[in-house]
Structure 1
Amino acid sequence: MTASDLRALHHGRTVGDPLVLPGPWDADSARVLADAGFPALATPSAGVAASLGYEDGATPAAEMFAAVARIARAVSVPVSADIEAGYGLAPRELVERLLAAGAVGCNLEDTVDGVLVDARWQADRLAEVRAAAGDALFVNARVDTYVTGVPEGTDQEAETVRRALLYVAAGADCVYPIGAPAESLPRLAAAVPAPLNALARPDGPGPRRLGELGAGRVTFGPGLQRRAMAALREFADGLRGA
């Protein structure tokens, strides 16, 4: 499967029917999700980190790419990889490692070491990634204004839109304002000329509702991995009491 296949899945969707991309954290979970009929998958960096024994954000680049490769090898559907802020790799090397791992898409976030980076700097980086990848990668630009925060006195929604427009102009295929409140999604979707990725949370609106609010794509972050671990914990507690 190619980036073109993944790109096509994002377009021509009706309101309330977003592309739902569950997040596998290893090869076995990827097989389960692909066998369930999902047309593409999106790895969560935090879920993969947990499966490898690391805190979120602490996975060495080599181990993350190796995990992505195992996941991509296990399924026949397109796989997009969450590669955080890119591990300090130059754009060309980053693209080469993604493609070598079998990924046809990626998330790139605009937080480095807990700090929201300059939007124009991030846009330039995205443009370099796009130039190095051509059409071989579907680039999902994560906007961290709601999770990292914005400077005091800055309008959060306006800054999200500003960043999103810069990233789309730089070549991003999709924009991911992670953590954006549901009530902001219609305005964000109307302002940004690219599919909008929304994060589905256990206590928030489901994928269909997020689609009705403007999301063209819905992902879950590490939610599925954490839910699986909670089920295992409950099972283990039951065994102790059996």
Structure 2
Amino acid sequence: MSTLEEKAALFQQYHVKGKPLVLVNVWDAGSAQAIQSAGATAIATGSWSVAAAHGERDGEAMPFHLVLANLARITASVDLPVTIDIEGGYGRSVSEVKRNILQVIDHGAVGINIEDQLPAGLGLYTVEEQCPRLSAAREAAQQAGIPLFINARTDIFLQHAPEHHNHSLLEEALIRSSHYADAGASGLFVPGLQDHQLIQELCERSPLPINVMVTSPEPSPKQLATLGVARVSYGPYPYLQVMEHLKELGRNILSGN
């Protein structure tokens, strides 16, 4: 089995512009094992799915010690690199973020998603507020001796309906991408962005590799590859599909069909 450092280095290498890493987001050890068996090259959690699977709501409502316990079970159950969605870092201060990232690494993760949305979705951290938090995550990784992949998520596009996505929002995302790169981020995650032209321009101009989230069968990873995307993830989509199948199975069994 590879060491954590080797897994981290391998995970970094998977992010190639135009040849995206595809992540089918999981929520527990069982789903992680299923996705590994399906041929995945890496495992990624999604905070919404993890929270729902534990009877909690998204938005850091799930206690952090349970997040860590779930992560530990996942990393112990698979041989692949694991990246974890830790929402806003479960802390507003630099010291809290650093402490939490050290714990995440200690529990076997080689990557994180950390977002710039304020707790409870009440707007975004300013660039001046978010960059020190990203730098704290990088400092934690350096202290642990792990080349952690810090996927800096910006919720700029989630704060606006898709029909209102425009070049003004794109420019704001590019400003954040530049500053986040300087602060130590490894990639930029832009959930909510669906416009192909804007995705392509962002991929062309961003100093960081771009992660796009898909919540339906389309667009395919191959389609996104042509736009220059380096990482494709599926957020809550796999969990929702599995739960719909489970409900249908339950209805059929309980109705006697």
Same fold (TM > 0.5) = yes
Could you say what secondary structure the match of 2:80 adopts?
coil
Compared CA separation, residues 224 and 95, structure 1 to 2 (3 A): same
* 1:203 Cα deviation from its structure 2 partner: 5.8
Which of 50, 53, 58 matches 1:51? 53
* 1:240 Cα deviation from its structure 2 partner: 2.3
Structure 1 stretches of 4+ moved >2 Å: none
Residues 150-189 of structure 1 mapped to structure 2, 5 A cutoff: 155-183=168-196, 184-189=198-203
- Counterpart for residue 10 of structure 1: 15
- Counterpart for residue 147 of structure 1: 158
CA deviation map 1:169-222 (0-9, x unaligned): 111111001111232110100111221000012164111111212211000111
Q: Distance in 2 between matches of 1:19 and 1:117?
A: 28
* 1:141 Cα deviation from its structure 2 partner: 0.2
- Counterpart for residue 225 of structure 2: 211
Give the TM-score normalised by structure 1.
Answer: 0.92
- Counterpart for residue 116 of structure 1: 124
Q: Distance in 2 between matches of 1:213 and 1:52?
A: 36
Which of 40, 56, 80 matches 1:77? 80
Residue type matched to 2:8 in 1?
A
For the Cα contact (< 8 Å) 1:27–1:70, is it kept in 2? yes
For the Cα contact (< 8 Å) 1:20–1:207, is it kept in 2? yes
CA deviation map 1:1-25 (0-9, x unaligned): 43111101113x6x3x311011111
Could you say what secondary structure the match of 2:57 adopts?
coil
CA deviation map 1:45-75 (0-9, x unaligned): 0000011110112211111111111111110
- Counterpart for residue 98 of structure 2: 92
CA deviation map 1:63-105 (0-9, x unaligned): 1111111111110000000000011162321221111211110
Aligned CA-pair RMSD = 1.8
- Counterpart for residue 240 of structure 1: 254
For structure 1, the 5+ residue unaligned runs are none
Give the TM-score normalised by structure 2.
Answer: 0.87
Residues 129-138 or 174-183, more deviating: 129-138
Identity percentage over the alignment? 35
- Counterpart for residue 130 of structure 1: 138
Q: Distance in 1 between matches of 2:98 and 2:217?
A: 39
Which of 20, 39, 56 matches 2:41? 39
For the Cα contact (< 8 Å) 2:177–2:207, is it kept in 1? no
Residue type matched to 2:86 in 1?
I
* 1:155 Cα deviation from its structure 2 partner: 2.1
For structure 2, the 5+ residue unaligned runs are none
